[in-house]
Amino acid sequence: MDGPMEGLIFDIAHLLAASLVLISFVQLYQDRLYALLNTFALHAFVLACSVAWQAFIQDAPHLYITAAIALVFKAIVIPIALHRIIQRLGIHREIETVVGIGLTMLAGIALVALSMVVMLQVTAGADPLAREDLAFALAVILLGLLLMVSRRNAVSQVVGFMSLENGLVLAATGAKGMPLVVEFSVAFSILIAFVVIGIFLFRIRERFDTVDVHALDRHRGERR
């Protein structure tokens, strides 16, 4: 493939990866749990498209499995499960954010700038597609971390963790010929399934009145 075709390949991969960063930003200012879940489902869907595109351009059919996991498990099953948990727990009210939305967005912009500067400089010698993919992936990872630390609700922390993990999948599929990618995404799916079941069990056992992590602090036996 040469000339305009190669440009198109690059542009589509670029577009999908950048959309992930954008949706990560959208997640940052969602103040309702349902809306956050819907945004996450979109995040996972775009990831599935991006992975499928990488599978196509790298001619790596095993990556279609990763794409399918992202689509079925993360874009459909997990959001529906979390939706039902939220309904069951009756916590579909507003999310408490630790710092204001404005500050969080500013921090997010700073993190994206940081990941661009750092990754583009470090990977100067690498293949341009992998290189920009990696910069976007780091941005998604850092935004996921930011989402986790800026929220106190256990469900939104899990959403933060999952979008962080989407960034990892983006990085892994962008690295050409990377082995074990499918295994990694399966391992992460197991991890996420455990968290979701964990949240559910917390409530089923009625050990906590709330899944607000801040409230859990009060149960601590000893203050550090």
Partner 1 sequence: MSAIVPDPVALILLIPIGAAALLALLPGYRLTSRLSVAASLLTFLAALALFAAEPAAPGSYLFVDEFNIVFIALNTFVGFTTSVFSASYIGHELATGKLTPLYLRFYHAMYQLLIFAMNLALVANNIGLMWVAIELATLTTVLMVGIYRTHEALEAAWKYFILGSVGIALALFGTILVYLAAQPVVGEGMNGMVWTVLIEHVAAFDPALLNMAFVFLLLGYGTKVGLAPLHAWLPDAHAEGPTPISAVLSGLLLNVALYAVLRFKMLLAGNAGAIAPGPLLVTMGLTSLIFAGFMLYRRQDVKRLFAYSSIEHMGIIAFAFGMGGPLANFAGLLHMVMHSLTKSAIFFAVGHIAQVKGTQKIADIGGLTVTHPWLGWGLVLGVVAIVGMPPLGIFMSEFLIVSSTFAREPWLALPLVLGLLIALGALLLRLNGLAFGEPRGSTAPAQASYVPMYAHLALVLVAGIYLPARLVDWFQHVAELLG
Residues 6 or more apart whose Cβ sits within 8 Å of residue 126: 134
Residues 6 or more apart whose Cβ sits within 8 Å of residue 161: 144, 148, 192, 195
Considering only the stretches 6-14, 19-27, 61-69, 133-141, report the one whose residues sit in contact with partner 1 under the rule CB under 8 A: 133-141
Which CB, 102 or 177, lies closer to partner 1? 177
**CB burial of residue 14 (10 Å; 0-12, 13-18, 19+):** middle
Q: According to the binding rule CB under 8 A, does residue 56 interact with partner 1?
A: no
Q: According to the binding rule CB under 8 A, does residue 129 interact with partner 1?
A: no
**Contact set for partner 1, span 135-164 (CB under 8 A):** 137-138, 141, 145, 148, 154, 157, 161, 164
Which of these, 150, 195, 194, 145, lies nearest to 166 by C-alpha position? 145
Q: According to the binding rule CB under 8 A, does residue 61 interact with partner 1?
A: no
Q: DSSP letters along 145-200, please? A: HHHHHHB-BHHHHHHHHHHHHHHHHHHHHHSTT-TTHHHHHHHHHHHHHHHHHHHH
Site string for partner 1, 79-118 (x = CB under 8 A): ---------------------------------------x
Q: In the bound complex, what is the minimum distance in angstroms from residue 4's beta carbon to partner 1?
A: 26
Whole-number Å distance between alpha carbons of 195 and 85: 12
Read off the tokens for 194: 């455990």
Q: According to the binding rule CB under 8 A, does residue 187 interact with partner 1?
A: yes
Considering only the stretches 15-23, 26-34, 88-96, 201-209, report the one whose residues sit in contact with partner 1 under the rule CB under 8 A: 201-209
Whole-number Å distance between alpha carbons of 28 and 190: 25
Site string for partner 1, 204-223 (x = CB under 8 A): -x-xx----x--xx-xxxx-
Residues that bind partner 1 (CB under 8 A): 118-119, 121-126, 130, 134, 137-138, 141, 145, 148, 154, 157, 161, 164-165, 168, 171-172, 175-180, 183-184, 187, 190-191, 194-195, 198, 202, 205, 207-208, 213, 216-217, 219-222, 224
